[in-house]
């Protein structure tokens, strides 16, 4: 489905919402809840607050629908709102005490995870990444998450953050550089350094396998 | 990281012969994420084999790239049922509101503009009825002073005329000389010194040497953040050509008029028709003049702020003039365009001086005072702004018990006359030539920054992208208080300016020596 078709398919739903059709709000929620939850999850990382933030995003969506003029794709508008609400939540969270004993929901084990030890290492790596993301400015964090984690093209990221594509690429460049330097200082990474050194260019290192 | 455009478009780093550099993490990450070309991969691997620094960093970078890949996992399943239930309350509330809005819009559409004449007729009937009841008991309006500006109470406003479709509220804020007005329908002339409602075709003509400043606003009520201010210069003739849907068209038949339109609301426009030229404006200060009353095809336009669109009505030819610039338009063609020489005076003039006359502000009356008058000058019972000749003057307050207090003034630009304290008997004199050490000024300004910043932060909640630059000119009186503060340059919303000025007026400086001191304080507001 190309962009125009997507807009044409979504518009009637927004129209129904604007007419005051209560069921249309529910349909909007059902249709977009997975997209919204994925964006929120990727911006904030593993967190016990995921469900609350998703709810907050939809409250904002419902209340801001009347200002949605249709000049952007609905998905772009939703992305923008989801990112902004999540960043707002993170900002608030920084000034609140943290509770270490809240169970953190983890992503389903959809990747090839072997032993429990590997699973623990993987979880630790992701947590380390989000610690590194914490050190970025919001602008760089947003661009990195949308482009590198969510896999959106730079053009779409530019529309979401309201900046030129070149600016997005510049932010992405610096975000990657800062994340790599932050992760280089992360003690949880490189624990298997020797093992990986052995892999370098010889065993399962895919880039090296290709001539 | 992903197959992003950033790294893939970069050439791989040249192979280094030694480790004389920091770790090339981005290049290593590109290798780990399989984003390099075959040649790039080969050279990178060669480099790693030779470079101790990059070899030592490689496992960590590889781990980092793996972490990014792993973070792309799907979110855990959420309790959608609970979320749906919670959100249904919000949906219900929102859909009710939207239905109400829709319903209202439908009714408005059906009624069209039918309500306007109905409302005007009802208002006229109410005014007539009230006039019958109270007309004999109200005092007759005072004769207009030769040089005066009043904020007249509403009861003195002429009653609305039932024939009007839409009105332009015109409030005089300053007048020098004589302005004669006439109604399009030939009814009693408008009193230009009062607030009045203008209808299409109503016109004003200024005598030689006269200047008239007035605030305009489409419809009633007319809040401070709407409308515009005009200054009509001597010998001009200005008429209200049309007003509909918030679009005001004024026609300048001869002379010159300066327009200062405050940021207008959506759908509200000002246009000044000069000869065959329409000059349209949004949030701009500009002056339009017809240099030769017999040549309606030659019009001069100067723009001090913002952008105006100039349309030659017979041909539809359009030009855009962006501040600061001035140009002459002959039959719609822009000629002799150049930068504006100096600051274009606003409706109240530069520093509130209108050719030797100075606007003096009387914000309030002292407790118990009944009236004020200037010795050998205008007097009255209302407060507000009025124009006085520059130089020494004596203001008298008359109290209910017959007591009279006098305040000696040296009338200078932008003077505000505070009511005298009951105990004060010594005359208060002001001049404009004092001194105050720069450090003392900086100290007070620095201490006052938080109060101004609060204004900005308050607006920031509504407009997160708000950035603004404001230059405030303030006059420090002989007692160290700010006796006048005004914005001389600003690209900020009016509500920010309205908040900044009272904050600045509350600043207290050390007493200057030798008289009042005027300083300019530039402020830049930007969110981090």
Task: Give tens-digit pLDDT for B487-499.
Answer: 876 677 777 888 8
Q: How confident is the model at residue B115 (pLDDT cuts 50, 70, 90)?
A: low
Buried b (16+ CB within 10 A) or exposed e, B295-316: eebbbbbbbbbbbbebbbeeee
> What is the least distance, in Å, from the CA of A4 to any CA of chain B?
25
CA-wise closest residue to B215 among B202, B204, B231: B231
CB spacing of A19 vs B102 below 8 angstroms: yes
Token pair belonging to B222: 């007319």
Q: Which member of A33, A176, A183 has the closest CB to residue B80?
A: A33
ipTM above 0.85, yes or no: no
Bond preceding residue B465 cis, omega within 30 of 0 = no
Provide, for chain A, the percentages of residues in helix, strand and coil under a 3-state DSSP scheme, each rounded to the nearest 5: 70, 0, 30
Phi, psi of B376 (to 5 degrees): 60, 30
CB spacing of A58 vs B87 below 8 angstroms: yes
> What is the least distance, in Å, from the CA of B59 to any CA of chain A?
5
Q: How confident is the model at residue A199 (pLDDT cuts 50, 70, 90)?
A: very low
All residues of chain A having their beta carbon less than 8 Å from the beta carbon of residue B87 are: 25, 29, 55, 58-59, 62
Token pair belonging to A103: 């169970």
> What is the least distance, in Å, from the CA of B61 to any CA of chain A?
7
Mean pLDDT on B509-524: 80
Full DSSP string of A154-167: HHHHHHHHTS-HHH
Cα separation, A51 vs B299, whole angstroms: 65
Cα separation, B93 vs B464, whole angstroms: 26
Query: Coil, strand, or helix at residue B280?
Result: strand
Q: How confident is the model at residue B5 (pLDDT cuts 50, 70, 90)?
A: very low
Q: Residues B37, B12: contact at Cβ < 8 Å?
A: yes
Q: How confident is the model at residue A104 (pLDDT cuts 50, 70, 90)?
A: very low
Token pair belonging to A45: 């990382």
Lowest mean pLDDT segment, chosen from A100-109, A111-120, B76-85, B518-527: A100-109
Helix (H) or strand (E) holding B131: helix B115-134
> What is the least distance, in Å, from the CA of B162 to any CA of chain A?
38
CA-wise closest residue to B261 among B229, B304, B287: B229
Among A168-182, B250-264, B340-354, B473-487, the range of highest mean pLDDT: A168-182
Other beta carbons within 10 angstroms of residue B59's beta carbon come to 23
C-alpha neighbours within 13 Å on the C-beta side of residue A47: 21
Phi, psi of B347 (to 5 degrees): -55, -35
Q: Are strands B211-218 and B228-232 parallel, antiparallel or unpaired?
A: antiparallel
C-alpha neighbours within 13 Å on the C-beta side of residue B82: 7
> What is the least distance, in Å, from the CA of B263 to any CA of chain A?
21
Residue B506 predicted with pLDDT over 70: yes
Residue A143 predicted with pLDDT over 90: yes
Q: Does B70 lie at the interface with A, CB-CB under 8 angstroms?
A: yes
Q: Residues B524, B475: contact at Cβ < 8 Å?
A: no
Query: Coil, strand, or helix at residue B55?
Result: helix
Q: What is the pLDDT of residue B24?
A: 81
Q: How confident is the model at residue B81 (pLDDT cuts 50, 70, 90)?
A: confident
Q: What is the pLDDT of residue B438?
A: 76
Cα separation, B480 vs B510, whole angstroms: 5
Q: Whole-angstrom distance between the N-terminal and C-terminal Cα of chain A?
A: 38
Q: Does B5 lie at the interface with A, CB-CB under 8 angstroms?
A: yes
All residues of chain B having their beta carbon less than 8 Å from the beta carbon of residue A179 are: 64
Q: How confident is the model at residue B378 (pLDDT cuts 50, 70, 90)?
A: low
Token pair belonging to A41: 């999850």
Q: How confident is the model at residue B343 (pLDDT cuts 50, 70, 90)?
A: low
Q: What is the pLDDT of residue A111?
A: 44
Using a 10 angstrom Cβ sphere, with 0-12 exposed, 13-18 middle and 19 or more buried, the burial of residue A69 is exposed
Q: Which member of B32, B64, B78 has the closest CB to residue A54?
A: B78
Residue B453 predicted with pLDDT over 70: yes
**Tokens 């947590």, located at residue:** A127
Q: What is the pLDDT of residue B421?
A: 47
Q: Which member of A26, A37, A129 has the closest CB to residue B84?
A: A26
CA-wise closest residue to B249 among B218, B220, B225, B223: B218
> What is the least distance, in Å, from the CA of A73 to any CA of chain B?
22
CB spacing of A148 vs B31 below 8 angstroms: no
Q: Whole-angstrom distance between the N-terminal and C-terminal Cα of chain B?
A: 29
Q: Does B26 lie at the interface with A, CB-CB under 8 angstroms?
A: yes
All residues of chain B having their beta carbon less than 8 Å from the beta carbon of residue A133 are: none
Q: What is the pLDDT of residue B138?
A: 37
Q: Residues B516, B434: contact at Cβ < 8 Å?
A: yes
Higher per-residue confidence, A137 vs B411: A137
Q: Which residues pair with B472 in a beta bridge?
A: B487, B521
Q: Does B61 lie at the interface with A, CB-CB under 8 angstroms?
A: yes
Buried b (16+ CB within 10 A) or exposed e, B360-399: bbbeebbeebeebbbeebbbbebbbbbbbeeeebebebbb
Q: Residues B418, B407: contact at Cβ < 8 Å?
A: no
Nearest residue on chain B to A150, judged by CA atoms? B72
Q: What is the pLDDT of residue B8?
A: 42
CA torsion sign for B212, B218, B222, B224 is negative
B433-452 residue pLDDT tens = 567 777 788 788 878 877 88
Q: What is the pLDDT of residue A168?
A: 94
Phi, psi of B60 (to 5 degrees): -65, -45
CB-defined contacts A:B, below 8 A: 184
Higher per-residue confidence, B214 vs B489: B214
Query: With the CA atoms of B347, B350, B352 and B353 taken in that order, what torsion angle do they form, in degrees rounded to the nearest 10?
Result: -110
Token pair belonging to B18: 């030694």
Using a 10 angstrom Cβ sphere, with 0-12 exposed, 13-18 middle and 19 or more buried, the burial of residue A113 is middle
**Tokens 């699973």, located at residue:** A119
Instruction: Provide the 8-state DSSP code for A93.
Output: H
CA-wise closest residue to B241 among B209, B212, B277, B285: B277
Q: What is the pLDDT of residue A132?
A: 87
Mean pLDDT on B493-507: 83
Lowest mean pLDDT segment, chosen from A147-156, B274-283, B474-483: B274-283
Interface of B with A in 85-104 (CB under 8 A): 86-88, 90-92, 94-102
All residues of chain B having their beta carbon less than 8 Å from the beta carbon of residue A126 are: 67, 70-71
Provide, rounded to the nearest whole percent, the portion of chain B with pLDDT above 70.
65
Helix (H) or strand (E) holding B129: helix B115-134
> What is the least distance, in Å, from the CA of A6 to any CA of chain B?
23
Nearest residue on chain A to B464, judged by CA atoms? A84
Buried b (16+ CB within 10 A) or exposed e, A118-138: eeebbbebbbbbbebbeebee
Distance (Å) of CA B25 to CA A32, B7, B21, B30, B64: 37, 11, 11, 8, 10
Mean pLDDT on B86-113: 78
């Amino acid at each position: 489905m190309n962009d125009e078709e997507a807009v044409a398919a979504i518009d009637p739903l927004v129209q129904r919402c604007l007419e005051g059709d209560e069921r249309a709000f529910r349909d909007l929620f059902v249709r977009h809840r997975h997209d919204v939850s994925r964006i929120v999850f990727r911006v904030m990382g593993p967190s016990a607050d995921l469900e609350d933030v998703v709810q907050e995003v939809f409250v904002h969506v419902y209340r801001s629908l009347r200002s949605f003029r249709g000049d952007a794709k609905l998905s772009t508008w939703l992305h923008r709102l989801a990112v902004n609400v999540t960043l707002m939540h993170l900002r608030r969270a920084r000034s609140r005490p943290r509770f270490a004993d809240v169970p953190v929901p983890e992503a389903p084990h959809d990747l090839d995870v072997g032993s429990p030890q590997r699973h623990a290492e993987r979880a630790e790596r992701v947590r380390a990444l989000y610690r590194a993301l914490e050190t970025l400015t919001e602008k760089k964090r947003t661009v990195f998450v949308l482009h590198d984690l969510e896999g959106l093209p730079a053009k779409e990221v530019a529309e979401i953050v309201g900046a030129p594509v070149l600016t997005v690429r510049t932010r992405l460049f610096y975000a990657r550089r800062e994340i790599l330097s932050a992760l280089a200082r992360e003690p949880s990474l490189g624990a298997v350094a020797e093992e990986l050194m052995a892999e370098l260019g010889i065993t399962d290192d895919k880039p090296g396998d290709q001539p | 990281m992903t197959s992003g455009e950033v790294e893939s478009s970069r050439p791989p780093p040249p192979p280094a012969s030694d480790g004389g550099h920091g770790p090339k993490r981005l290049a290593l990450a590109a290798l780990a994420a399989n984003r390099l070309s075959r040649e790039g991969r080969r050279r990178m691997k060669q480099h790693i084999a030779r470079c101790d620094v990059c070899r030592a960093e490689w496992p960590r970078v590889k781990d980092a790239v793996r972490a990014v890949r792993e973070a792309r996992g799907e979110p855990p399943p959420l309790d959608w049922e609970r979320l749906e239930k919670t959100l249904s309350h919000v949906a219900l509330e929102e859909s009710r509101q939207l239905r109400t809005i829709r319903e209202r819009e439908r009714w408005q559409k059906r009624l069209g503009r039918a309500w306007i004449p109905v409302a005007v007729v009802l208002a006229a009937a109410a005014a007539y009825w009230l006039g019958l009841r109270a007309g004999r008991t109200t005092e007759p309006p005072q004769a207009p002073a030769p040089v005066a500006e009043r904020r007249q109470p509403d009861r003195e406003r002429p009653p609305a005329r039932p024939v009007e479709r839409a009105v332009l509220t015109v409030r005089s804020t300053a007048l020098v000389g004589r302005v004669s007005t006439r109604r399009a329908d030939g009814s009693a002339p408008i009193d230009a010194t009062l607030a009045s409602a203008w209808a299409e075709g109503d016109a004003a003509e200024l005598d030689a040497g006269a200047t008239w400043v007035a605030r305009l606003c489409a419809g009633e009520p007319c809040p401070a953040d709407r409308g515009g201010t005009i200054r009509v210069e001597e010998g001009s003739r200005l008429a209200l050509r049309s007003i509909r849907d918030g679009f005001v068209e004024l026609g300048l038949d001869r002379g010159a008029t300066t327009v200062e339109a405050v940021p207008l609301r959506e759908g509200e426009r000002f246009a000044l028709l000069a000869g065959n030229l329409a000059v349209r404006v949004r949030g701009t200060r500009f002056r339009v003049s017809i240099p030769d009353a017999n040549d309606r095809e030659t019009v001069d336009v100067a723009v001090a702020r913002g952008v105006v669109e100039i349309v030659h009505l017979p041909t539809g030819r359009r030009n855009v003039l962006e501040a600061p610039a001035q140009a002459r338009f002959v039959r719609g063609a822009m000629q002799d365009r150049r930068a504006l020489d100096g600051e274009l005076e606003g409706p109240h003039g530069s520093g509130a001086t209108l050719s030797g006359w100075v606007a003096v502000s009387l914000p309030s009356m002292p407790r118990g005072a009944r009236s004020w008058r200037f010795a050998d000058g205008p007097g009255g019972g209302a407060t507000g702004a009025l124009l006085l000749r520059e130089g020494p003057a004596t203001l008298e307050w008359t109290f209910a018990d017959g007591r009279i207090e006098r305040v000696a003034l040296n009338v200078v630009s932008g003077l505000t006359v505070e009511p005298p304290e009951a105990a004060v008997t010594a005359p208060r004199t002001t001049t404009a030539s004092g001194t105050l050490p720069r450090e003392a000024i900086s100290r007070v300004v620095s201490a006052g920054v938080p109060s101004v910043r609060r204004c900005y932060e308050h607006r920031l909640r509504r407009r997160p992208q708000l950035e603004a630059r404001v230059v405030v000119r303030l006059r420090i009186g002989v007692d160290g208080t700010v006796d006048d503060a005004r914005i001389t340059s600003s690209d900020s919303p009016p509500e920010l300016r309205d908040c900044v000025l009272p904050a600045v007026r509350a600043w207290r400086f050390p007493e200057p020596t030798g008289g009042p001191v005027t300083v300019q304080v530039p402020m830049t507001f930007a969110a981090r």
